[in-house]
Structure 1
């Protein structure tokens, strides 16, 4: 039986080693950047408490368009593209801006929701934006539409191969021994220590890496997203998820009236207030935080995402598309109406970063991601020591030539 296993393990070792050598640096970059973003929200909140909080007041808070008008009277900040508002009376309003003609996006700003005066731009925003682009697209041209997205996705597929071959290669003689699987032998030195750290810590983080990889593929390949939607979502929900812009059937329902609306939109920039009024009616003024985003291209459908007061998860939200000109609700997607599978799909990002388990989960996923360079280093050392061992083992053969 051992004779049968030996060539299989030798082949798996070659696959494991070559894939690891080729992609170790890429995986290390993705791991470090992912760990850096694990507590992004908490870090930004700590750095920017002076601009994110205001003194609560009984005064009426301004509407989105009123805030934008007062901000623009203070200077030229660019064309507003999104507004984030909160029900908390001490929370500032955040305004984001569209990209300039050169492709650069101005920094967002916080404004006082009561009088609209500028509080300042958040610290760390540009840093985390760069880290996110490096994590997802390796800073390559095209961002989500470029080659970087496919490279990181292909690397994720290869990492799944590593996660499968790793336990097979280290399968111990005492397979039922928990100590053998989970306790590194720190008394070893050199190659033995490297192998123990590589194998045992790899066993610790394997479930986390598997979750990270399977959820990360969601952002890399449309076929993967389509398959997940087909498997977990109802047919109508899957169709809506794969074709969010425009909403399914919206163009046919609107008919010629839609063309008139677009003509009006071209004559006058889209505004938020009509959308804001419709949203408050939809949610009965019961929300914790809401993000209103203007369409990037042609059209009048404003995307509205609403999070409840008692949740810190990105996935627990209601989503609407509301016409900015008429105030008509084009589509409504409420979290309470989702099936279990659809909630899993909505929570891909929270699962990917461990937030679904609260801050302990985020900490565990951060530490696991930060360990990725360890496998790059120990894997390289093991490969070099293995080559050196083979070379030394072959040297005495030269002295067995007859006559020497």
Structure 2
């Protein structure tokens, strides 16, 4: 009895998944590579705006700073404030979306007098690249069809990685050298196959990490499963929301209460102490009162941060998640974006992940070429037609 032809079946699955997801994966790879050093690029572009000259004037309290900005009738509603321990660093203000759904550009502000220094360069470009990477610029953003398409493409990438590894698995241990060494002296189909398979083998672990972390941004069930696996005993911090009326009568939404930022800031300084380098305060949307606080630690070069929830009316601490108290699984969940883009490994990791993203179109092109050439090889050859010369 002949063995079940598993490899031809896997090759068919690999080809179909590759053709279906090639264009989307190539686009996601390029945009991901562009965003690999977004923070460093924006820091270089905005070096002159992000810092203020030294002076003897003390910085304004966050509440006074926001009040001066909101006094401008043409200014948007402040949504987030990023402050630094560095006295020469400007404060970055991000605004909420307007009635038309558009979000105004953020601004750098002088912390001493609330003077607007300017709009960050490159912000609109990277915002567009991010929307293209996550949602293909389709309407609805995270609630539209783009999120489902990119999620399906990443699932297809997992299928490609698994089937590709099985198809490439060496029959003999001694063939590993040929398995990992590209044959650059070949041409045509041979070169395409060598580039596709050998480089894909080298980058397989990187693409697998990208896929398994990226799926958490596409599917809620996957994120819940990842949380259950890595941190089953840690319920996520919840933002406060207004309670529904007990008598069941429909009421209009309550008016949002003013946020006492100075009380919030006092709580942040008490809880974070002298451990932070940068703090971001995200103000509540709608009628909520909880302010989300992210505090990046100054003694950690790996992007570690503490998180707090502070009541914006009373300044009371609602919840706290300190990085030092987290389990390894909780730390992985907290830094899943850093894992996704390789920055958790420092500069070498960022470079490797950037190159992997930039090479994604190579697999799309070589995969299509291999599929077309394979179809041609399988096409039955026609018998040459014989034309008789008159008189023969």
Select which of 245, 254, 261 maps to 2:239. Answer: 245
Select which of 378, 382, 393 maps to 2:366. Answer: 378
- 1:336 corresponds to: 324
- 1:365 corresponds to: 353
- 1:298 corresponds to: 287
Select which of 37, 60, 63 maps to 1:62. Answer: 60
Deviation for aligned residue 1:305: 0.7
Select which of 79, 88, 92 maps to 2:90. Answer: 92
Closer, same or farther in 2 for the Cα pair 1:115/1:176, shift >3 Å?
A: farther
The answer as to 2:142 corresponding to 1:144 is yes
Select which of 372, 381, 390 maps to 1:394. Answer: 381
- 1:45 corresponds to: 43
SS in 2 for 1:126: helix
SS in 1 for 2:190: helix
1:157-216 CA distances to partner (integer Å, 9 max, x unpaired)? 111110011122223444444421221001101000000000000001100000000000
Q: Does the 8 Å contact 1:172/1:180 carry over to 2?
A: no
SS in 2 for 1:81: strand
Q: Larger helix proportion, structure 1 or 2?
A: 1
Unaligned runs of 5+ in 2: 247-252, 387-392
- 1:353 corresponds to: 341
For 1:165 and 1:389, the matched residues in 2 are separated by: 22
- 1:402 corresponds to: none
Matches within 5 A, 1:5-404: 7-73=5-71, 76-235=74-233, 237=234, 239-240=235-236, 244-246=238-240, 266=256, 269-314=258-303, 316-391=304-379, 393-396=380-383
Deviation for aligned residue 1:144: 1.5
Alignment size in residue pairs: 379
Deviation for aligned residue 1:73: 4.7
Q: Does the 8 Å contact 2:80/2:282 carry over to 1?
A: yes
Closer, same or farther in 2 for the Cα pair 1:286/1:75, shift >3 Å?
A: farther
TM-score by length of 1: 0.88
Q: Does the 8 Å contact 1:136/1:149 carry over to 2?
A: yes
1:77-130 CA distances to partner (integer Å, 9 max, x unpaired)? 211111000001111100111100000000000011122211100011111111
For 1:246 and 1:203, the matched residues in 2 are separated by: 47
For 1:52 and 1:360, the matched residues in 2 are separated by: 26
Larger displacement relative to structure 2 (112-121 or 81-90): 112-121
SS in 1 for 2:3: helix
- 2:250 corresponds to: none
Provide the aligned C-alpha RMSD in A. 2.3
